[in-house]
Amino acid sequence: MSPSGKQVDEVIQQIASAHGVVLSKDDPIMMLHTMNDYLIKENKSAQQDLLDNFRSQMELFSDQWSIEAKNHSDRILNSSIVSSKAEVARVMEEQSRVIIEQWKHELSSGFSQVHNTIQASRQTAILNIIAALITSISAVIILYVFLTM
């Protein structure tokens, strides 16, 4: 993995222009440059592998967190639904009891009114019977008096 000839020529030119020293291709400094270039490429490859591995682990963790968050939200939602259903059932039962109690009270008062009306009708019927008896007795007395006279 040595640098290409063009790269070596560019390095030699940069050193010459910056430091005023001309190096040859077999100079030990150029060997260091080649070694540095090789190490940089190897490190870059290793870092890319580490970055790819880190990215895949992060995606895996993200997927797991997403699933866990979804499961958690589902549990919360289901719990809310269950408690809401229980509360609705409780309120409906309570309101049903209230309505039934109101109906019982209204029926009771209606029955009481009917009973009072029946009592009044019975009393009126008894008074009518008594009045009819008195009228009949009066008619018999008048007839008797009329006939005996």
pLDDT tens for 74-94 read 999 999 999 999 999 999 999
Q: How many residues does the chain have?
A: 149
What is the per-residue pLDDT for 81?
Answer: 95
d(CA 139, CA 147): 12
Whether the pLDDT of residue 48 is over 90: the answer is yes
Give yes or no for a contact between 57 and 23, defined as CB atoms under 8 angstroms apart. Answer: no
Whether the pLDDT of residue 124 is over 60: the answer is yes
Least confident among 29-43, 60-74, 94-108: 29-43
Higher pLDDT, 69 or 22: 69
H helices then E strands: how many in the chain?
Answer: 2, 0
Residues of the chain with pLDDT > 90, as a percent, come to 70
Whether the pLDDT of residue 29 is over 90: the answer is no
At what angle are helices 28-148 and 5-19 packed, to 10 degrees? Answer: 110
| Encoded tokens for 65 | 């967190």
Whether the pLDDT of residue 118 is over 70: the answer is yes
What is the per-residue pLDDT for 2?
Answer: 56
Q: Average pLDDT for residues 6-16, to the nearest whole number?
A: 86
What is the per-residue pLDDT for 21?
Answer: 85
Higher pLDDT, 19 or 84: 84
C-beta pairs of 15-24 under 8 Å, 24+ apart in sequence? none
